[in-house]
Structure 1
Amino acid sequence: MTTFVLVPGFWLGAWAWDAVVAGLRESGHDALALTPLGVGEREAHTGVSTEDQVDDVVARLREQDEPVVLVGHSGAGPVVVAAAERARDEVSALVLVDTGPLPGDVSHLDFVGPERAAHVRRVLADNAGRYPMPSREELGPITAGIDETTFAAVHARSAPVPEGVPCTTARRAERGDPTLPKIVVACIFTAADVREGAAAGAPGFAEMTGPEWSIVELPTGHWPMFSEPRALTDVLVKAGRAGPTAGR
């Protein structure tokens, strides 16, 4: 049996993983889904930064009895990457769902480019320092694979992200650990995109060239836990088999 710890991206809580958690448990594994610090039912925590979210995930990892497969989606990617570096003995494999690592001096807003960053800052200013989930029209093609009813339910249940998360960085180790298996589930980008981005030195792709990295393409929208939960579960189960055989 493998234990999975799952962290959703922006605007989502632990509930976003319900179908995947059910699938993992049906496959004989255990799963713990986390709501990020400062979001949803944990909104009472004010002034939350990316570093605070990393510390929170690390604390939860250290509560586990055995090393886990740590899974981060979208905006949680940089959080789980940093958490795995700080709690290496508690992590057997790292899975990044449609996301990647960021250098320690690059925030989410740095990554998305100046035009998008300016838009997000305007939204934050208009919403008292919180970043609500955009409409489907604003999100565009990345919502592929999710029917209108499901998207409406997700949007209604979504919660704003505190300003400090998209605007701050996560401290990183000087070097990544090559003994930790790292799997990227690529949904709105491809393995070829990763190679091209890495060759260009793009943040988020540049690290994904070491032998510990593997890329699994799952062509769908940016939220495969809603559009392809069974396929995503299968990828995670395979990652769980690979994890304990590598590293420590």
Structure 2
Amino acid sequence: MTHFVLVAGAWLGAWAWDEVLPGLREAGHDVHALTLSGLAEKKDLPAGQRTHVQDIVGHVERRDLHDVVLVGHSYSGIPVGQAAERIGGRLRRVVFVDSDVPIDGRPFLSGFDSDDVRRALDAHGGFWPPLPPDDYTGQELTDGQIHRIVTVGTPHPGATLTEPAVLRHPVGELPATYVKCLLDGPEPMPAVAEALRSERWNLVEMDTGHWPMFSRPRELAALLAEAAARN
């Protein structure tokens, strides 16, 4: 049996995958939606980048999971990519869902023009609050879905964004699928484009926005199951 471990991006917890879980379970997979420290029901726990990596590794090891597909959405591609390396032979595949990817020695905020995020961290005591509703327009989300992200989402702990990733090998050496959500921009980020040159990576496109677990949950579940079936 394949074991999926699903990790959502900034501000989100395990709850973000509620509509994806049924499709994977119907396909016969074991599924674990994981909340990272400092978010959702774990919002009171201190968290840095290394904490988030250990959250994922610890979950896999405590449950003695093998044949694991790690799924990282958006921000969480950074800790998921590091955790994938650390779980070694337990890993079947990584799926990066419209996410950043880790580069050794570089933090999440180095991957894009992050001045606005840094100002937000300074203004909110080291936390990154969910974006205002208007920032989610054009991403195929309903008003209700946007309201849920903004109101249920948790301010994201800043240390997870500023601490550097630690990798022994380039992320392109992992067996991976990258899911590009086209409404969030047609081209992958440079670090992703570099990794996609690897023969161990493949690219899948979705004609939806940056949060496909809300906008296209059944389609996303099917793509994840297909990714798990790749050699």
TM-score, normalising length: structure 1: 0.86
Distance 2:121 2:184 in 1: 31
Distance 1:133 1:65 in 2: 32
Distance 1:168 1:103 in 2: 12
Paired amino acid for 1:233 = A
Distance 1:51 1:170 in 2: 8
Of the three residues 114, 120, 141, the one matched with 1:146 is 141
* 1:1-248 correspondence runs (5 A): 1-46=1-46, 48-62=47-61, 63-113=63-113, 117-141=114-138, 144-176=139-171, 178=173, 180-188=174-182, 193-194=187-188, 202-242=190-230, 246=231
SS at match of 1:145: coil
Paired amino acid for 1:93 = R
Q: Structure 1 residues 86 and 71, CA, compared in 2 at 3 Å: closer, same or farther?
A: same
Paired amino acid for 2:121 = L
Distance 1:176 1:125 in 2: 31
Q: CA deviation at 1:189?
A: 7.0
Q: CA deviation at 1:138?
A: 3.1
SS at match of 1:193: coil
Give the gaps of 5 or more residues in structure 2.
none
Distance 1:18 1:174 in 2: 33
Distance 1:51 1:29 in 2: 28
Distance 1:241 1:72 in 2: 18
Indicate the RMSD between aligned Cα atoms, in angstroms.
Answer: 2.0
Q: CA deviation at 1:73?
A: 0.3
8 Å CA contact 2:172–2:198 kept in 1: the answer is no
Q: CA deviation at 1:9?
A: 0.3
Paired amino acid for 1:164 = A
Distance 1:49 1:4 in 2: 23
Runs of 4+ in 1 over 6 A off after TM superposition: 189-192
TM-score, normalising length: structure 2: 0.92
Q: CA deviation at 1:232?
A: 0.3
8 Å CA contact 1:191–1:217 kept in 2: the answer is no
Q: Structure 1 residues 126 and 190, CA, compared in 2 at 3 Å: closer, same or farther?
A: closer
* Identity of matched residues, %: 33
SS at match of 2:72: strand
Q: CA deviation at 1:205?
A: 2.8
